[in-house]
Chain A
């Protein structure tokens, strides 16, 4: 997580939320 955050990425450990975000972004929406 630290490596990602230090390089400007956000990440979470929640699979459900991550999948929802990815689907929303693919459909042109915003990340939750």
Chain B
């Protein structure tokens, strides 16, 4: 689950990461009031789950509270990568002497959280990794021991030469790691981590993704979910207890079990097609899930054919068949349907 920048900053502030003051607004008037309270220049930032907000015109500098109101009026309602901006973060502007990148990702290969730091901050880190990988230091962390002081210093020395800044950065590494672990994150990044002309090391932007599997034991994080910032079909699927990810292709897939769903997508690509989605109806027998799955898939105009691939183990194929019949009687299909069904209760 992705959370907004202002929410990520709140989680990092709770660990002590130095972050410029700011607050979130849903109206231009609120933005003006926040700017008034902060005093001085502010940055008005669109809060959407998408990168490239600055390039899209969703991040603007305001010299006065009145300008903050005008800019918020422009940014609120703006579309960025298909997502409507409903909130803006109004935050105190900082002077920047240099920018660095600090991030932690959950690395499947090493099965560890891995720190990635670079002096090339403020830009797309994937681009840095692709073009100048030597500018990135990767450091896996053994979760049995956590981030050790010498590792935090090693990361700090990769970013800065001045010992004062190294120490400040090392402290932020420790705080970022604490936030990553405490909140069950799969990604936590500060980009940019800036040095001000006064020599202070400050987090100007933050991004945190929470591992969905952590949400049951973190209801306070589940409460941060903003469904207006998510793909509507994925919201509907989650409410129907389906595992669904929207993709770019035209073959709608309804499959039981994540492994079979992955294999199905591979096979679709093998035969020259592109899956329109990943959809796992799960291992239980529930015709309602089939009805929900068909409704979600048929709402996608890019889907040109639907493929059911059901291997009945715990799932009873007669339940799936009843779900297909019920769903198509209620909403007759206008696109072809191909059904593969085998396993429990598939024979008369």
Chain A residues within CB distance 8 Å of chain B: 1-4, 7, 9-23, 25-28, 31
Contacts A21-B338, A31-B336 supplied; 13 other A-B pairs, CB < 8 Å = A1-B321, A1-B341, A3-B318, A3-B321, A11-B340, A15-B340, A18-B340, A19-B267, A19-B270, A22-B336, A25-B304, A28-B304, A31-B338
B contacts with A: majority SS = mixed
Question: Complex formed: what's the CA distance from A9 to B250 in Å?
Answer: 21
What chain A residues lie within 8 Å of B336 (beta carbons)? 22, 25, 31
Q: Which residue of chain A has the shortest Cβ distance to B269 in the bound complex?
A: A23
Query: Contacts A4-B325, A25-B338, A26-B250; is A15 near B267 (CB within 8 Å)?
Result: yes
State which residues 170-213 of B face A: CB under 8 Å.
none
Nearest residue in A to B347 (C-beta to C-beta)? A1
Does B339 lie within 8 Å of A19, measured CB to CB?
no
Determine if B100 is an interface residue (Cβ-Cβ < 8 Å): no
Pick from B37-45, B71-79, B229-237, B305-313 the stretch touching chain A.
B305-313
**Measuring CB to CB, which residues of chain B are less than 8 angstroms from any residue of chain A?**
249-251, 264, 267-268, 270-273, 303-309, 317-318, 321-322, 324-325, 336-342, 346-348
Instruction: Establish whether residues A13 and B273, one from each chain, have CB atoms under 8 Å apart when the complex forms.
Output: no
Task: Check A11/B273 contact, CB under 8 A, given A19-B264, A25-B305.
Answer: no
B267's nearest neighbour on chain A, judged by CB, is: A19
CB neighbours of A16 from chain B (8 A): 267
Q: How many residue pairs, one in A and one in B, have C-beta atoms under 8 Å apart? A: 88
Question: Complex: how many Å from CA A1 to CA B270?
Answer: 27
* B272→A11 contact, CB < 8 A: no
User: B340 contacts A13, CB within 8 Å?
Assistant: yes
Quote the shortest CB–CB distance from B252 to chain A (angstroms). Answer: 9
In the assembled complex, how far is the CB of residue B267 from the closest CB belonging to chain A, in whole angstroms?
Answer: 4
Assembly CA distance A13 to B249 (angstroms):
24
List of B residues within 8 angstroms of A14 by Cβ: 340
Residues of chain A within 8 A of B337, CB atoms compared: 9
Contact residue among B271, B340, B348 (Cβ-Cβ distance under 8 Å from A2): B348
Q: Given contacts A22-B305, A23-B273, are A1 and B348 in contact (CB under 8 A)? A: yes
